[in-house]
Structure 1
Amino acid sequence: MRRITVIEHITLDGIIQAPGGPDEDGDYPYGGWAAPHDDDAIGEAIVAAHGERFDLLLGRRTYDIWADYWPKAEPGPMADQLNGAVKYVATHRPDSLSWGPAEALDTDIVAGISRLKAQDGPPLIVWGSSTVTPVLLERGLAEDVLLLVFPVLLGEGKRFFSGAAPCELKLIRTQTTAGGVMINHYKPAGPLRTGTIGGDPT
């Protein structure tokens, strides 16, 4: 069975849109918000989370952004791994997956991802999808969530957990970089509990 890990750059107010550069996502006004805080510790955490071998599970928008960048990137361990990984894409346009190797998910995304998990193969890494991630968490399909939390407030943009079903995440470990980024590793921990402060949770 294949393991699924979600990795994301995220602001304090939950925005994930266009962290990498001003032109990453059209006319979004705050593109590149992660760059001023980037450092070696972030890169090392990302490389460690990917491991030596992996495939990608992507939403269509993330796939298109990456397809425009990574094939042109300077060769190196991460670029080579990303370009060589199989990209499984949630899309209604399966005939336009030019950055390969690539395969469109089934029309039923849950069925498609469940099928992938049941196969033998390398772990699946999810980046940047505000549509795929809530499905993974709601259906218990993701084993790990790595959030790179940047000390930034944007106020507008695509949010990471938009539409997610109520649930809990257990913090496994955390690290703070020199630039103030918190690298938080979580595991899904079941349904949301509620209660009264000072009393027993239900």
Structure 2
Amino acid sequence: MRKIVVYELVSLDGVAEAPDQFFTDWDDAMEANLAAVIATQDAVVLGRRSYTEWAGFWPDSRIQPFAAFINGVAKHVATSTPLDQGWAGATAIEGDLVAFVRELQQRPGGDIGVHASISVAQALLAAGVVDELRLVIAPRIVGRGRRLLDGLPTIRLQAIRSEPSPAGYLLADYRVLGPSTD
């Protein structure tokens, strides 16, 4: 069965909205981390907002390795309206997001990534279908904005890796074990 991997850029206080406002440095360790995450993925699930923003930016971007990855990968978009921008490999998810992702997990292929889509990540974490949570944590307290983990039930995690990057960002990977019973 394919793994669902949520990759998010967050502040120390958990804000995931507009990470370009608090991710001001990008170093080689962060680049290698991102390359390792996307190397195993052959599909992504995006929310409508992320899709709209990214469809206007990534097709013409030369920021590698992510541009080649996101432009070439199958993109499944959680939306209730037709996709208004053409982007190679993008399709709208018909029906229930969680049911679609569970079915997608059963198909052959590599890992399925969730990138930048806060509401999609939250829905999948709450439903218990996420296998790994990979965070890049900025050494900043932002104070306001949508937080990645707000509103979720208690979920048990197991640390897989935690290391600082040269620029002071924390690369933290967790295996999602499921709902907490305590």
TM range (shorter): over 0.9
- 1:146-172 Cα deviation digits (max 9, x unpaired): 010111111111111122221111111
Q: Is the 8 A contact 1:130 1:162 kept in 2?
A: no
Say yes or no: does 1:153 pair with 2:175.
no
- 1:14-38 Cα deviation digits (max 9, x unpaired): 1011113xxxxxxxxxxx2102x32
Say yes or no: does 1:176 pair with 2:164.
yes
User: In the comparison of the two structures, how many residue pairs are matched?
Assistant: 182
Note the residue ranges of structure 2 that are not aligned, 5 or more in a row.
Answer: none
Q: Is the partner of 1:10 in helix, strand or coil?
A: strand
- 1:45-72 Cα deviation digits (max 9, x unpaired): 0110111552111111111111111111
- Equivalent of 2:27, from 20, 39, 47? 39
Q: Is the 8 A contact 2:77 2:92 kept in 1?
A: yes
| Higher Rg of the two aligned structures | 1
The match for 1:96 is 84
Say yes or no: does 1:82 pair with 2:70.
yes
Q: Is the partner of 1:87 in helix, strand or coil?
A: strand
Q: Is the partner of 1:96 in helix, strand or coil?
A: coil
Q: Is the 8 A contact 2:5 2:113 kept in 1?
A: yes
Q: Is the 8 A contact 2:13 2:142 kept in 1?
A: yes
Report the Cα offset of residue 87 of structure 1.
Answer: 0.5
Cα distance in structure 2, aligned partners of 1:170 and 1:138: 17
Cα distance in structure 1, aligned partners of 2:16 and 2:176: 20
Residues 171 and 76 (structure 1), Cα distance of their counterparts in 2 relative to 1, 3 Å cut = closer
Q: Is the 8 A contact 1:134 1:165 kept in 2?
A: no
Scaled by the length of structure 2, the TM-score of the pair is 0.92
Cα distance in structure 2, aligned partners of 1:62 and 1:83: 14
The match for 1:110 is 98
Greater Cα offset, 48-57 or 62-71: 48-57
Equivalent residue letter for 2:2: R
Equivalent residue letter for 2:66: M
Q: Is the 8 A contact 2:133 2:173 kept in 1?
A: yes
More strand by share: 2
The match for 1:17 is 17
- Equivalent of 2:50, from 35, 57, 62? 62
Percent of aligned pairs sharing the same letter = 32
- Equivalent of 1:123, from 96, 111, 126? 111
Scaled by the length of structure 1, the TM-score of the pair is 0.84
The match for 1:198 is none
Residues 52 and 169 (structure 1), Cα distance of their counterparts in 2 relative to 1, 3 Å cut = closer
Equivalent residue letter for 2:172: N
Equivalent residue letter for 2:61: A
